[in-house]
Amino acid sequence: MSNLEEARYFKFTGESGHVPRPACVTLVGAGPGDPELLTLKAARVLSTASIVLYDHLVSREVLKLVPPDADLVYVGKESAHHTLPQDAIVELMLRLARDGRPVVRLKGGDPYTFGRGGEEAQALAEAGVPFEVIPGISAAQGAAACAGIPLTHRDHASSVQYVTGHLRSGQDETLRLDWPALVRPRQTLVIYMGLASLPVLSAQLIHHGMDPQTPAALVEAATLPTQRTLVGTVQSLPSLAQQHAVRSPALIIVGTVVSLQPMLAQATGRAQSILPSCEATLASA
């Protein structure tokens, strides 16, 4: 299996003068990590793929479904390190498709949920390149189910808000979130890419009226054997994350639904992966 780390290794037959009909680009959601959570359609497409452009959060187990003779091209993004800029990823997809080579664009979670799948689909549509989108189980769905935290519950939350806590251009970017909407009662708040900005997020939620003792959780490596869940409050979560050296990928869940986690996790056999609650942690500090 080829691991082509840079786009320059490709030779495009279309550049020799022949212009084939554009091939299809398939945007595939790889789910939250566990390969058994892939959709049947996603697994089928991967099993026949010839070129796969894959992101950082796609697990090795999922990549094993790709044929041995396929080209695997890593185009992942990590904090402060992008293998290829987003514009270059789009350009690579377009060049391959215009060269008549079907492309699988493999993304962690669901392509249309904080995966830039919408941006890539828009670019493909504007360029007249045919494409298909295969949805995946989102990180929020996988983390909530495997950690024992229902996203909605009639006694706790009738709505869910998904936001990104990524500090794209400094703290001001995060501060532009609709804080009054995020602190409304009877809802669940799910924060993607918020680990690095967790202290800012915690402080701003409290500043805008959220009870500091609102239950909150961090789910690290959701659905994988290394999954860890930290349960505390919106006030204590930053210190818990630092104390237990939580690493990305990690999802933040805030709301009273988190109070159900100890009971549901124990009942589903995941209690052994749960770290102490904030009260127990702070008492032993």
Residues 148-186 pLDDT 10s: 999 999 999 999 999 998 765 544 544 689 999 999 999
Q: Which two tokens stand for residue 212?
A: 């500091």
What's the CA gap between 273 and 194, in Å, rounded?
Answer: 21
The phi-psi region of residue 124 (left if phi > 0; otherwise alpha if psi is between -120 and 50; otherwise beta) is alpha
> What percent of the chain stands above pLDDT 70?
82
**Residues with catalytic function:** 55, 77
pTM of this structure: 0.87
On the question of a cis peptide bond just before residue 249, with omega within 30 degrees of 0, the verdict is yes
pLDDT over 80 (residue 62):
yes
- The H or E element containing residue 71 is strand 71-74
Residues β-bridged to residue 160: 188
pLDDT, tens only, 238-275:
999 999 999 999 999 999 999 999 999 988 876 544 55
- Three-state secondary-structure class, residue 245: coil
Task: Choose the most confident range, by mean pLDDT, from 8-17, 19-28, 95-104.
Answer: 95-104
